Amino acid sequence: MSPAILWMLRRAFGPPGAPAPTGVTLEEALALCRRFELSGRVAARQGRERLAAELGEGAAGFSRDQAGAVGMGLRLTALATRLAAVAASLDLPVVFLKFAALELSGALAPGSRSAGDVDLLVPSAGVAGAADLQRALLSQGFSASDLPGLEHQLPALAGPEGVVELHRVLLGVRLAGRTSATAEELAREGLLVPLPDLPGRAAVPASAVAVAHTLVHGLGQHGWWPQSYPLFKMIGDLIDLGLGGPAGAALAERAGAWIAVDIPRIEVEATRRLAAALVAGEDLAAWGESAAPEALLLRHLLAGRLDPAYERSLRLGLFRPAPSDRPATARLVRILWRTVFLTRRQVDAVYGKPRGGALGYLGRQLWRPLDLAGRLARYGASAFKAR
């Protein structure tokens, strides 16, 4: 809990203008905020003048990051409008998720959140569905990723305006029973908020659904992989959805019931308490010694990006249960198969493009099991030391 960390947390999430630790240099503040992808959020909430008074005129770096996020947000908003129009031509309702949902519903301050894609939930049944929209976008110049699709979504699409991910279900959000919610279920339960300014039948999830999905995505899918997703982005989204405010307890109660299969209640409540403490601007200096769940969660979020040994110790999380509608054994077999037996595109992503063409790929694929054995040994040693 260094002064720079406390400054970042206060300025990114606390009351604007509230006192923050002094003696923090511009270089460490900006580098830390960029490491957690919070620089745009800090700039949007505090303003250029306050940051300049605290850190010096060089604090314009925060404003540049905010401007970059504004530009990306405008581009992705235009992409969302185009997607809604294509879906409307198919008479297909769509539900925007994550960044697009927050941006289109007006929950975000300009430039406060970075993003690189548009996620939307599409009905999986009926005359038209996710596959139909995927084909329509491919016919309009989008290209499909060579990487396989996931349980809950089709292979990503890339276009001039950005990346598109079409979800078939809201993975881990279970309104009834043990299967993940579909767009049709959300509509039947009255859990969608229409977007009348977009073409066709576009909507975003109700706040409680968005909170549930954010928790599953952050804690359930990326909680053990902090380098793959900045988990303070999850905290910021939850705060923007109201989890840290007066309605937070009710939101946590409702959302927690839908995700209880994958996210324990203690983790939901710890996240709510952390969000509330950040919003209130509580003094977190003593949290480094606390054993409270919310303090443990805060240290996990920080160490996952600041302590390489701790981050390595988490990689055995590959074998932990994760949100899925598949049986646990089937899921584990599928993960092991995809981890050990790599496609050429996966070889490129993990090791870089090999020399020697087909023989180079074959060599990498044959080397993969030995490489994994070595990595598991190193990760196990890191986990033992971290424990």
Question: Which CATH number fits the domain that encloses residue 83?
Answer: 3.30.460
Based on the fold, state whether residues 55 and 176 are members of the same structural domain: yes
Mean pLDDT in residue range 64-91: 95
Residues 375, 387: Cα–Cα separation, whole Å: 18
12 DSSP β-pair partners: none
317 domain-assigned: no
Spatial neighbors of 229 by CB under 8 A, at least 6 apart, are 217, 218, 221, 222
Q: In the predicted model, is pLDDT for residue 337 greater than 70? A: no
71-75, 200-204, 350-354, range with the lowest pLDDT: 350-354
Helix (H, G, I), strand (E, B) or coil at 274: helix
Question: What is the amino acid identity at position 91?
Answer: D
The alpha carbon dihedral of 74, 39, 165, 101 has a sign of: negative
Q: What gap in Å lies between CA 116 and CA 129, rounded to an integer?
A: 24
Confidence check: pLDDT of 273 > 90: yes
Domain-located, residue 124: yes
Residue 201 sits in the same domain as residue 214: no
DSSP classification of residue 120: E
Query: Does 51 share its domain with 198?
Result: yes
* Domain match, 333 and 191 both: no
Is pLDDT larger for residue 273 or for residue 21?
Answer: 273
- Six-digit token string for 2: 């260094």
163, 179, 205: which is the final residue of a domain? Answer: 205
Residue with tokens 């950005």: 162
H or E element: which one contains 142? none
Whether residue 356 sits in one domain with residue 375 = yes
pLDDT band, very low/low/confident/very high, at 386 (cuts 50, 70, 90): confident
Instruction: Tell me the C-alpha distance between 118 and 98, whole Å.
Output: 8
Return the biggest CA–CA distance within the chain: 62
Q: Are residues 47 and 86 in the same domain?
A: yes
Cα angle 231, 350, 117; round to 5: 45
Tell whether 376 and 296 lie within a shared domain.
no
Measured distance CA(194)–CA(224) in Å, rounded: 34
For residue 115, give Cα distances in angstroms to 24, 83, 86, 108: 28, 17, 22, 12
The confidence score (pLDDT) of residue 208 equals 97
User: What backbone phi and psi angles, to 5 degrees, belong to 385?
Assistant: -65, -40
**12-26 confidence digits (pLDDT tens):** 999 988 888 888 899
What distance in Å separates the CA atoms of residue 76 and residue 289, rounded to the nearest whole number? 42
DSSP 3-state of 307: coil
Question: What span, in angstroms and rounded, lies between the C-alpha atoms of 191 and 210?
Answer: 10
281 dihedral zone (left: phi>0; alpha: psi -120 to 50; beta): left
Residues 261 and 201 in one domain: no
Is 20 a domain residue? no
Q: Which pLDDT does position 319 carry in this prediction?
A: 64
- pLDDT interval class at 328 (50, 70, 90): low
Q: Yes or no: say if 251 and 241 are a contact pair by the CB < 8 Å rule.
A: yes
Same domain membership, residue 143 and residue 288: no
My answer on whether 279 and 190 are in the same domain is: no
Asked whether residue 255 is assigned to any structural domain, the reply reads yes
The DSSP element (H or E) to which 203 belongs, if any, is: strand 202-205
Which of 257, 273, 306 is where one domain is finished?
306
Q: Nearest 5°: CA angle at 367, between 362 and 372?
A: 135
- Domain presence at residue 26: no
Number of domains in the chain: 3
* Residues 199, 97 share a domain: yes
The count of other CB atoms within 10 Å of the CB of residue 320 is: 10
> pLDDT by residue (tens digit) across 121-147?
999 765 468 889 999 999 988 988 776
The percent of residues in the chain predicted with pLDDT above 70, rounded, is 94
What is the per-residue pLDDT for 172? 94
Question: Does residue 199 lie within any of the structural domains?
Answer: yes
Residue 100, judged by CB atoms within 10 A of its CB (0-12, 13-18, 19+), counts as: buried
- Of 23-27, 90-94, 100-104, 121-125, the one with minimum mean pLDDT is 121-125
CA gap 191, 152 in Å, rounded = 19
59: DSSP letter:
G
Indicate whether 75 pLDDT > 90.
yes
Structural domain boundaries enclosing 63: 37-205
Of residues 14 and 338, the one with the higher pLDDT is 14
The alpha carbon of 89 is separated from its chain's Cα centroid by a whole number of angstroms, namely 30
Question: Is 345 part of a structural domain of the chain?
Answer: yes
Element (H, E) at 247: none
Last residue of a domain, one of 187, 205, 223: 205
The stretch 97-126 carries a mean pLDDT of 92
Length of the chain: 387
Q: Residue 160: exposed, middle, or buried by beta-carbon count in 10 A (0-12, 13-18, 19+)?
A: exposed
A 10 A CB-CB count for 238 gives 25
Q: Are the beta carbons of 46 and 60 closer than 8 angstroms?
A: no
- Whether 234 maps to a domain, the answer reads yes
| Least confident window among 108-112, 206-210, 305-309 | 305-309
| Strand ranges, E, within the chain | 94-97, 117-121, 143-144, 157-159, 162-167, 192-194, 202-205
Residue 315 has pLDDT above 60, yes or no: yes
In this structure, the answer to whether residues 48 and 181 fall within a common structural domain is yes
**What is the Cα–Cα distance from 262 to 159, expressed in whole angstroms?**
33
